[in-house]
Amino acid sequence: MLDIVVSISLVAVVLSMIGIVYRVIKGPTTPDRVIALDSLGIGLISVIGLISILMRTSVFLEVILLLGILAFIGTVAFSKYLEKGEIIQRDRDK
Amino acid sequence: MKKPNDLILKTVTKVISFIIILFSLHLFFAGHYEPGGGFIGGLMTAAALVLLLLAYDMKTVNTILPFNYKIMTALGLLIAVLTSAGALLFNVPFLTHAYDYFELPLLGETSLHTAVLFDIGVYLVVIGITMTIIQTIGESE
């Protein structure tokens, strides 16, 4: 029973990720693509969670936290590049 | 000129960078029995430092954490080589590791393994190389 429910939700998440990939390709502006890539990372996190339920293992749980951190840092870096033109500034007050 | 105000980013960074460093230490020490180890632990610590670099600037981060990352890389390699060569003192081959169980105060029975010392070398090398690459790329104007 659990396997069926998890499989159905896996299909739903993958369908939503396909929609997000459409937005990554089509997105008219760069911020659209950045937001779409961020939500693609979140979708990947839920896929990993569902697969670790299906495989009945807990060794993937670190990967979930890791992907959350990496998606956050990547999105912040992209937005800073869009906002300021450079990612790491040498001296902010100048 | 309007001054940019990154209050939300700076406040979030203050909270999250500690969580990332704690998570990287967990990954580092869990490496013997669970997924993790020196490589991914070092990468996550470097990710926390990169987040600090994103929210603040290079001068501030160098003031808070005055590390020379090239020396850190060399220190990590030295620790790895010395741990490996320490086995030669006991008439066993190079890179032989030993472990035993010890009663530690506060922690109880703990297995201490010399592979952890080797892993500390890996950890320092990964942090040093990642931060050297990022700082070198970030500095070129």
User: Chain A partners of B59 at a C-beta cutoff of 8 Å?
Assistant: 90-92
The pLDDT confidence band at residue A14, using thresholds 50, 70 and 90, is: very high
* Domain annotation covers residue A90: no
H runs (alpha helix) in chain A: 2-26, 30-54, 61-84
Its pTM stands at: 0.88
ipTM of the complex: 0.86
Tell me the per-residue pLDDT of B54-113, one tens digit each, with 9 for 90 and over: 998 888 888 998 989 999 999 999 999 999 888 888 888 888 888 878 787 777 787 788
CA distances from B68 to A39, A76, B75, B119 (A): 37, 26, 11, 20
- Identify the closest residue of chain A to B63 by CA–CA distance: A91
Rounded-to-integer distance, Cα B135 and Cα B141, Å: 12
The pLDDT confidence band at residue B32, using thresholds 50, 70 and 90, is: confident
- CA nearest neighbour of A60 among A71, A46, A77: A46
| Structural domain total, chain A | 1
CA A34 to mean position of chain CA atoms: 10
Q: Which two tokens stand for residue B115?
A: 């592979």
Q: Does B2 contact A at CB distance below 8 Å?
A: no
Q: Which residue range forms the structural domain that includes residue A11?
A: 2-84
Average of per-residue pLDDT values in chain A = 91
| Residue extents of the structural domains in chain B | 7-139
B51/A73 touch (CB, cutoff 8 Å), yes or no: yes
